[in-house]
Structure formats: structure tokens, C-alpha cells
Structure 1
Amino acid sequence: MPETTKRMKSLFVTIVSALLIVSFLQVAFHQQFLNFYNAENAIIVHNILEIFSICVSFAIFTYGWFVFRETHSKMYLMVASIFLAVALLDLMHVITYEKTYHLAVDHSGQMTVWFWITARLTESLGLLWVLLHKEKESQHTNQGWIFFSAFIYVCVISSSIFLFHPYFPAIIQSNSGPTPLKIGIEYFVGLTQLLAIFIAYRKYREAQESFHILLMLACSFLLLSELLLTLYTHVNDIEIIWAHFYKVIGYILFLNAFYFSKLRLTYTMKNKVEKDLKKAKGQLESFFQYTPDAIIILDTKGTILSVNPSFEKIFGWKSKDVLGKLFINLMPDPEIKMDIKQLFEKVALGQSFIGHEAIRQRLNGEKFLISTTISPVCNEKGEITQISAIIRDITKQRESENRARKAEQELKEAVSKQTGIIIKFKKENNRFIHTLCDGKLLANMNLTPDMVVGKDLFEIFDAETAGYISTYYEIAWGGEEVSYELSALGAICFVTLSPIIVDGKVTEVVGSSFDISKLKTTEDLLQKSEKLAVVGELAAGVAHEIRNPLTTLKGFVQLMGANVEPEKKAFVDLMLSELDRIEMITNEFMVVAKPQAVRYQEHDIKDLIRQVLLFSNPQAILNNVSIDVSYLTHETIILCDGNQIKQVFINLIKNAFEAMGDGGAISIEVLQSDDSQLLIRITDTGSGIPEEIIPKLGEPFYTLKEKGTGLGLMVSFRIIEAHKGSIHFSSKVNEGTTVDIKLPYPNRFLNDSPLEELERIGIQ
């Protein structure tokens, strides 16, 4: 809308500026022109201006005559006819003008003014007619008859004026200028010009062409001319000269509007079309000469009119040997001849064939398979005059397809006998569609290839399983090889996915799957056996070899301590301390060796941490360690054995104290992790743990302490795993260590635990 308004303003300013400039020139040079102006000069100037406008009218007619042959536009034909009539009528106006003695017939001026009036009416009404009609093409219009009709029109008007003008109403008065009749006609012509301006303005808003601006300017000057001709009082008044001057300007603008703008565009388009045709012709010739397919042009009887070089290569005949001959005669085999005859008969009736496969013969008699695209060629009248055929030798292609089909069948048979599963899939519309799935394992999972091929994951598995698998499918489609374990449909499978990359783009993914259920069962049994072996050894060693003597030693040391001398009291206390330490190690052995009675209940992690800190704060003060606790989530309720979780916290805080011999700070943060679990993050500023040692943490008897056993972290790991959680260490030497403990919320804990396990641990 703003752009249209801007153009309208520009148009208005252009028209008003042009009129103001001409009006200014008229006023500025009015006195100088009056000094030059007299009756004799008026006739000369009048005739010069009229002759000039007649020449412009004839120019418009001439251009229209020749342009119609190129464009076949009725608009050019109408405009040319109108201005031919206007030029002839204006010419009659000049030769009958007053004081042109050797040509004038009537010296009263009535005759010449009637020629003027008819010329103006023809001009204005004709122009209005042109603007109201849509521009159309006409291929069959006889332009000679149109212009002859215009000539007849002028002859009839001229004869009527010459013969009957004495009987016409008076149109001018000898002394007082134009009569009311002439003024009324001039106003009518002016009104027609004004209507033409509005029509041109409306078309300008639709088309936004400069042609309409020039047309509006032309009509504006013609309107100004008509208005001036209502003001004069004598035939020699200067207003008449100015009116003719404005008419000349209007005609020049009209010529520029219709031809200097329209014709330039027309010829430019014509030149462009010619260049495009030449380019297209060159491309077609190049295609005809260099395409690997044979191209044959025949007449409706099947006579060969033209062939390309590929025809010679495919069939073996030279073009000079086949031109003018029937194509059917090149094929000696009767069956082939019959097929060609039937094909040509159908094409001659207007039918086309695309990819028609048939057997043909070469010059040496060899038969081969071709694919033909054959169609009729019609002339301008729609009559079939020729037949074009494009022939491609597809013998090797078909052999390759047969070999590929055979290889595919063999591959399918091999895949179906595969003990596991072979799959292929590709991504279409953000869905992973399987294109191949077969193998013996598929039958064991109560599936068939038809139940998988052509479907996506969510049509085969439940939403949770499909979402899990699609994560790995997405990674493989991104161009990476990936492996994962899948527990679904009663089997545990190990799946490997490998992308097929062509031109740097993944086109398909191939995968294989093997049942590892027995392997996983065996692995679990081995792990349990190892644990039982360790438990047995530890339980036997601790329970029978250490605990009983330890009780005896501790009792006697306590008895001795009651009667010992004060200076030796410190030695007794040291022995009791070491015995307590041995008892603690023994208890840790018992935790590892014998399953403990576990009772899962809902606990607030805040309460558990507060209880742990009540025991730890005194030792923190002694070790010059500050402990800061922050809660960044409101959901702090978990399902756990409170004593075991507190044991984990105590072990970790104790390790932090020992790592900060010179004091430091411990930070405990409670927040919600990204996977919607409760996260407890314990950070210290101790000496840190070397990176290569972190993976070994939690192994029994592995420790960095001089007097440690490594059982504390092992017990902590087992407790967190039993609670369906995870524990992760990250550390930098001389900077500190961070421990992240993730524990599931009660609802997730219950969903992830089988019913028999819930019954075992006492949760219904």
C-alpha cells in the first residue's frame, strides 16, 4: 500500500509539473509572441502546427500498419485506423482553412471548422474505444480492409461537409467567435478526454507501466487544447495557436506512449524470443547429434526421413543407406515386422508410447532388446505429419538387472538362514522404515519379515522400547557405527548398526543382531560366583579367626586399663583404639560377606544428611573443615534403607576429611538431575585422585590409604546399586574431588523393580 501511494504521488506530480511548465512558458512568452503575431503570421503558424500534427498522425498510422504484422494486436490496428482518419480530416481542415485561397472553397470558415470538429470527435471517441477494449491478438484479421474502411469513412465525412455544409447549423460567427453549438461540442470532446485520463489512471494502478503515464499526459494536453478553443472570439486570436500547439504536444506524447514505449518493448521481446529460439534450436541439434539414444524421424507411412549418429552405432546401418527407406524393411524377421506395423498404425491414429520394450535386429542379424518412446508430430492444424522415435538399447541393462535380482534372491536366502537377524532401514519423513529384516532369531521372537519390512519402530515395539532403539538409529543415521544391547520380546540381543554412505550422505543403515541371553545369564552367574567366593573367604577368615580372639584381647585390655598406672594409661587407650579399628574392619568384612536385613521406607534426604552431620561436625571442627549444605530442589523424598544411605554419606565424608589433612571445605548440594533423579553432590578441596585410578574405585582391597582396606567404597557402591542408583567420581589432583550420587524417586524405584524383588525387600 505505501509503495502504491508513492507511485500515485509521483504520477500526480509529473502531470501537474508538465502542465505548469507549459502554462509558465505560455505566460512568460505571451507578450513576445504578440509582438510577432499578426493575421498573416497566424495563418502560417496555424498551418505549420496542423501539418506537424498530421505528420505525427501519419507516423502513428505507419507504425501501426507494420507492427500489426509482427504482434497481431488489435489495439495497434484500431489506433492506426483512427489516426489515419484523423490525419485525413485534419488535412481537409488545413486545405479549407480561411485565406488559403488557392485551395479554399468556402471563405466563411464553416467548412474548415466542421472538418476540425469531426477530426476531434473521431480522435477522442476512437481513443476512448481503444482504452475500453482489452488488448487481444488476431491472426486472421485483414488489415487492408480495416484501413480501407477508415478511408471510406473519411470520404463520406468529407463529401457530406463539402456538399451539405451550407445546411449545417452555424458553428462559428464571423465577429464573435464560436457558437454555443461548437462550444458544447468542444466541451463534449474535452469530457471524453477527461474520461480517457481516468481510464488510463485506473490501468496504470493495475499494470504500473510508464505507457499509461504518457497516455495521461497526452490526454491532458488534448483536454487543455479543447478548453482553449472555447475561449477565442476571433479566428485570428492567439488562443487558437496555443490550442494547436498543445494538440501537437499531445500527439507527440501519444506517439511516444503507443510506440516508443510499447514498440520498444515489443521488439525487445521479439529479439529475446529469436535468441531463445536459436539457443533452443542449438540445444536440440546438439541433443540430436550427441545423445546416446537412437533418434529416428519418419513420415506417417514409416519412411525414414532422418536419423542421428547413435542410430548408426546401435543398428549398424549408415544414414545414407536408410534415408528414404521403410523402417519395417530393415527388419527381416516376420514377427518383428508385424510388431512394427501394428505400432506405427496406432501412432498414426495419435497414440503415443513411452518405454515400449521390443525385440529388434541389427544389420548383422543380431537381435537385441530396446526401449522405445514413440509419438506423433503434428502441424499447426493438428494434423499428424511425422513420427518421432527415441530408441535405447537396454540389453545389457536388463542382463544387469537379472543378475542383480538373482544376487538379491541369493542374499535373501542367506539372510533367512542367518542364526541372528539382519536388518536394513532408511529414514523417510522423520520415520525409520525397515527395508529388510530376516533371520532365524526373528522366528524365535514370534515375528515374520512381513511384520517388520515397510514399518517403523513404533509399529513393531511398545513406545518405550521404540524410543530407546530410535536413539541408536538416529546416531547410525548420523554416520556413526553404534552397538547396544536390547531386551525385548523375550530375548536379550546385541545389535550393531553400520551406515551406508554414498557421496558423503547416508542412504541406508545395515544392522545385525545376535541373541546373548545365555551369555548374559552365564556372565551374571560368574559374577555371583566370584562374589560368593570372596564372601566365603572373608566370612570364614573374619568370623572364625579374628572375631573370637579379638573379643578376648579387648576384654583383657579393658581389665588391665582399670589398674594401670596413669603414665601408662595412654598406651592402654592406644591399644583399645587399635582394637576398635580391627573390630570396625571385621564388621566391614561381615557386611560384604553376609546379606543384611534391608527395610526400604520413604525418607527425607534432608533428615538423613542432618543426622550424618551431627556425628561429623565434631570431627570437622577438629580437622579444621567447614561443611556447607544447600538444597536446590523441593523433591527430597526417596525410598531407601536409611541406615545404609547414612553409611554411604559417612564413608564419603570420612574420606574427604582424610584427603584434607590441613583443613578445607566440604560442599553438599541436593538437586534434581537431568534424568529426573535426586542428585547428591559432595565436593571437597582435598588432594584429589589421579585420573587413572578413578575407574578402580570400589574394587575390594584397593585403596590409597596406608592402613586402608578399600572395603568402605566397595560397600558404598553396593548400597547405591541396591537402591537402583549410581555413584560417579570426578577429581583433579591438588584441587579436590566431586562425588555425584543419583537415587531414583519412589515412583521410578517401584517401576524399575520386579514384583518378586519388591516382595523380597518388604515392599508390597
Structure 2
Amino acid sequence: MEKRVDAREYHLNSKQAYLNLFFEQAEDSIAVFDLEDRVITVNPAFEKLYGWSKTEAIGRSLPLIPPKNLEGARSRAKELRKGSHYYLFETTDMRKDGTIFDVQISLSPIYNSHGEIIASSIISRDISHVKENENLILQSEKLKVVGEIAAGVAHEIRNPMTVISGFVQMMNEDSNSPYYEHTKLIQKETERIELILSEFLVLSRPQVNQFVNIHLAKIFDDIIQFFQFEFQQKSIDIILQNNYPDVIILGNANEIKQIFINLFKNAMEAIKDGGTITLEVFPSKDNNEIFIRLKDTGCGIPSYVLERIFEPFYTTKTKGTGLGMMVINKIIQDHHGTIKIKSQEEVGTEILLSFPVVQS
């Protein structure tokens, strides 16, 4: 009897040791909650993933769920207390610092020896990198579709549009024509079609650009001059803060101009009744890069739009193609630059660009 008792005790202790070892060394986050959603215990992977230490977590009801997901989480918790299970459920959780991340979770009730639910366990895994890869694949597929469409259609459309545009320009020379306003409108729309085709072609053709030295100050002067009439019409003040007029970058001048034409157009559309657009130029600490900050006092960009702003065909504009920001991003990447966007609704938008500098 003593040997059998000793063997059983050894078996139980070994089992408990293995369970503790699994709990402590598991790569997935594991947390145990009581029926009031207070933390009973967590493993080291939970501390690493969510940012809460074990000491901070135990006994507390932690804010692990983003506000927009609370209703669904409460519903699952209610079903969990009835004995339901959830396996590999994909959602979003929140870290201690407030950052949101994609997560895959499994929820299970914990029973006592009498078959009563006394707690629940949550095993979670960060799948942000998986979601990111899925998005990259989707973006790549969309780009492929855009390229195929552009390569097959854009040139064919351009040929008749060139003829139409030429004849409309001839008709516009007679300002006394009863159709003058109509032909002006036709000309404006053909120019818009040309812009759309240019965006398609940028996405479709392989980049074999012969980059040359570009004086950024000249680009800025040209762009501001180009929009000067529209600035006056819309009562927009343009502020240029450039103490580095001699900065040179390597690139394609037309494509760099296209970046700032699109950005200025977006800024002007965001400003309804007068406002300010500020263009600020400054170098990096090591002088290897130049930063261009473009700020406007427009209506701002909603967060849900900002998250998808570089997606192809995604637009909130009635006349937009959903390609403008995507083209900008591609051109910047081709020039080994970066772009970051911050925005606040009813306050304005700030866009920070960077490009490598040609060292003199």
C-alpha cells in the first residue's frame, strides 16, 4: 500500500511538474481568468505579448480588448460560462500601451472535480505577421491586375484621346462659339482621363528610369507656380520653409513632380473655405537624407481611411480612381524614399517624405 501510495504521489507530482513546465515554457500566451474575468495566473509568453507583468495582472480585470470588440467579447464570455469552446478564433487584442494587434485565440472553460465551471483559459497567438503577409499578397495580386489592365488598355485609349483633345483645343480657340463652355468642359475631362492613364502606366511599366540629379527647390518652385491661381481662388495661403535650396536628390523629375502635384491636390481638396498649406524642408541628423513635411489645415483623414490609404482602388472620392496615393507610394519606393502620414479630423493632415541626398 505504501509503495502504491508513493507511486501515485510521484505520478501526480510528475504530472504537475510537466504541466507547470508546459505552462511556463509555452510560446503561446496563456492566461487563466475567474468567473468575474479577473486574472488568476499568466505565463511568461502572456507578459511578453501583452506587456503586463504577472504581478500587475493577477487579481485584475485587464483592458485586453479594444473598445470596438467589447460587445463580441462579452457575448463569448457568456457562452464560455455555459460550457462553449472557441478554437483558433481570429480577432484583435490590445497591449498595455494601447496598441492593437491581430491575434488568434482559443477559449476553454475549466471545470472542478464536480463538473462545475470555475474558471476559463485563453490561449492566444500573435498573427500580425501572417495578416501582413496576406495583405502583401493581396496587394501584389491587385497590382498585377492593374498592370495587366494598364498594359492592354491604356495605350489604346490614349490614341483616340489625343485626336479628341487636339480637335477640342482647336474649338476652344473661338471664345465666341456658343459651345465654348461645353468644349472647355470636354477639354478638362480629357485632361483628367490623361491623368488617370498616366497613373495606370506608372503602375504597369517596369521601372528602368535613368535617374538624374534633381534640385528639389526647383521642383517646389514649379509646383507652387503651377497651383498659384487655384491657391488664390480658394484663399489658401502657401508657406514654404526651405533653408536648404541647394539640396540634390537622384531621380526622375517628372515622377517627383507627380508626387507633389497629387499631394497638393489632395491638400487643396481637404481645405474647404480658406486655409494654409505649409511645405517644410530639413535634413536628417547625418545629412544623408532630406525630409519634406507637407501640412494642411484641412478636414483631416478618418482613421479607417488612413489604414487603407495605399490600397489600390480604395477611395472615398466620388470621382477618384483609388490609385493616386498608391502611385505616390510606388514612386517614393522606386526612389528609395519613405512616406509617413498623420492626420486628425477637423484639424489637418501632415505628410513626411524622405529621400536620399546626393552628396557633393
TM (normalized to structure 2)?
Answer: 0.58
Checking the alignment, whether the CA contact within 8 Å between 1:477 and 1:499 is kept in structure 2 is no
Question: Partner of 1:685 in structure 2?
Answer: 297
Q: Deviations over 1:663-717 (max 9, x none)?
A: 3211111234689853321111223223332212233333333322232222112
Match of 1:642 among 238, 250, 253: 253
Counterpart residue type for residue 202 of structure 2: V
Question: Partner of 1:728 in structure 2?
Answer: 340
Match of 1:715 among 313, 322, 327: 327
Structure 1 residues 536 and 668: alpha-carbon distance in aligned structure 2, compared to 1, 3 A threshold: same
Structure 1 residues 728 and 568: alpha-carbon distance in aligned structure 2, compared to 1, 3 A threshold: same
Checking the alignment, whether the CA contact within 8 Å between 2:235 and 2:274 is kept in structure 1 is yes
Match of 1:606 among 213, 217, 220: 217
Structure 1 residues 597 and 504: alpha-carbon distance in aligned structure 2, compared to 1, 3 A threshold: closer
Question: Partner of 1:226 in structure 2?
Answer: none
Checking the alignment, whether the CA contact within 8 Å between 2:211 and 2:251 is kept in structure 1 is yes
Checking the alignment, whether the CA contact within 8 Å between 2:243 and 2:281 is kept in structure 1 is yes
Question: Partner of 1:482 in structure 2?
Answer: 49
Structure 1 residues 480 and 606: alpha-carbon distance in aligned structure 2, compared to 1, 3 A threshold: farther
Q: Give the Cα separation in 1 of the matches to 2:135 and 2:299.
A: 37
Structure 1 residues 742 and 477: alpha-carbon distance in aligned structure 2, compared to 1, 3 A threshold: farther
Aligned to 2:353, the other structure's residue is in SS state: strand
Matches within 5 A, 1:685-764: 685-745=297-357
Q: CA deviation at 1:574?
A: 2.6
Q: CA deviation at 1:653?
A: 0.9
Q: Give the Cα separation in 2 of the matches to 1:682 and 1:611.
A: 16
Q: Deviations over 1:289-310 (max 9, x none)?
A: xxxxxxxxxxxxxxxxxxxxxx
Checking the alignment, whether the CA contact within 8 Å between 2:216 and 2:245 is kept in structure 1 is no
Checking the alignment, whether the CA contact within 8 Å between 1:536 and 1:593 is kept in structure 2 is yes
Q: CA deviation at 1:621?
A: 2.7
Checking the alignment, whether the CA contact within 8 Å between 2:47 and 2:53 is kept in structure 1 is no
1:576 aligns with 2:143: no
Structure 1 residues 504 and 656: alpha-carbon distance in aligned structure 2, compared to 1, 3 A threshold: closer
Aligned to 2:346, the other structure's residue is in SS state: coil
1:663 aligns with 2:274: yes
Match of 1:532 among 144, 156, 173: 144
Structure 1 residues 638 and 482: alpha-carbon distance in aligned structure 2, compared to 1, 3 A threshold: farther
Q: CA deviation at 1:518?
A: 12
Q: Deviations over 1:242-279 (max 9, x none)?
A: xxxxxxxxxxxxxxxxxxxxxxxxxxxxxxxxxxxxxx
Counterpart residue type for residue 48 of structure 2: E
Q: Give the Cα separation in 1 of the matches to 2:201 and 2:331.
A: 14
Structure 1 residues 518 and 708: alpha-carbon distance in aligned structure 2, compared to 1, 3 A threshold: closer
Match of 1:594 among 182, 185, 205: 205
Q: Give the Cα separation in 1 of the matches to 2:171 and 2:242.
A: 50
Percent identity, aligned pairs only? Answer: 33
Question: Partner of 1:651 in structure 2?
Answer: 262
Aligned to 2:305, the other structure's residue is in SS state: helix
Structure 1 residues 567 and 479: alpha-carbon distance in aligned structure 2, compared to 1, 3 A threshold: same
Question: Partner of 2:117 in structure 1?
Answer: none
Larger gyration radius, structure 1 or structure 2: 1
Counterpart residue type for residue 235 of structure 2: N
Q: Give the Cα separation in 1 of the matches to 2:135 and 2:55.
A: 40
Q: CA deviation at 1:656?
A: 1.5
Q: CA deviation at 1:406?
A: 12
Counterpart residue type for residue 345 of structure 2: V
Q: Give the Cα separation in 2 of the matches to 1:566 and 1:714.
A: 41
Q: CA deviation at 1:726?
A: 2.9
Matches within 5 A, 1:454-493: 480-482=47-49
Question: Partner of 1:554 in structure 2?
Answer: 165
Q: Give the Cα separation in 2 of the matches to 1:519 and 1:569.
A: 53
Q: Give the Cα separation in 1 of the matches to 2:262 and 2:310.
A: 12
Q: CA deviation at 1:558?
A: 4.2
Counterpart residue type for residue 650 of structure 1: I
Q: CA deviation at 1:536?
A: 0.8
Aligned to 2:201, the other structure's residue is in SS state: helix
Q: Give the Cα separation in 2 of the matches to 1:670 and 1:499.
A: 41
Runs of 5+ unmatched residues, structure 2: 29-42, 59-124
Structure 1 residues 404 and 639: alpha-carbon distance in aligned structure 2, compared to 1, 3 A threshold: farther
Larger fraction in helix: 1
Q: CA deviation at 1:721?
A: 2.7
Larger fraction in strand: 2
Q: Give the Cα separation in 2 of the matches to 1:559 and 1:503.
A: 76
Structure 1 residues 726 and 550: alpha-carbon distance in aligned structure 2, compared to 1, 3 A threshold: same
Q: CA deviation at 1:562?
A: 5.9
Structure 1 residues 482 and 586: alpha-carbon distance in aligned structure 2, compared to 1, 3 A threshold: same
Structure 1 residues 536 and 501: alpha-carbon distance in aligned structure 2, compared to 1, 3 A threshold: same
Aligned to 1:696, the other structure's residue is in SS state: coil
Aligned to 2:179, the other structure's residue is in SS state: helix
Structure 1 residues 659 and 675: alpha-carbon distance in aligned structure 2, compared to 1, 3 A threshold: farther
Aligned to 2:180, the other structure's residue is in SS state: helix
Q: Give the Cα separation in 1 of the matches to 2:169 and 2:56.
A: 83
Q: Give the Cα separation in 2 of the matches to 1:529 and 1:664.
A: 39
Q: Give the Cα separation in 1 of the matches to 2:167 and 2:244.
A: 52
TM (normalized to structure 1)?
Answer: 0.30
Aligned to 1:566, the other structure's residue is in SS state: coil
Q: Give the Cα separation in 2 of the matches to 1:656 and 1:551.
A: 30
Aligned to 1:708, the other structure's residue is in SS state: coil
**Greater length-normalized contact order (CA 8 Å, ≥ 6 residues apart):** 2
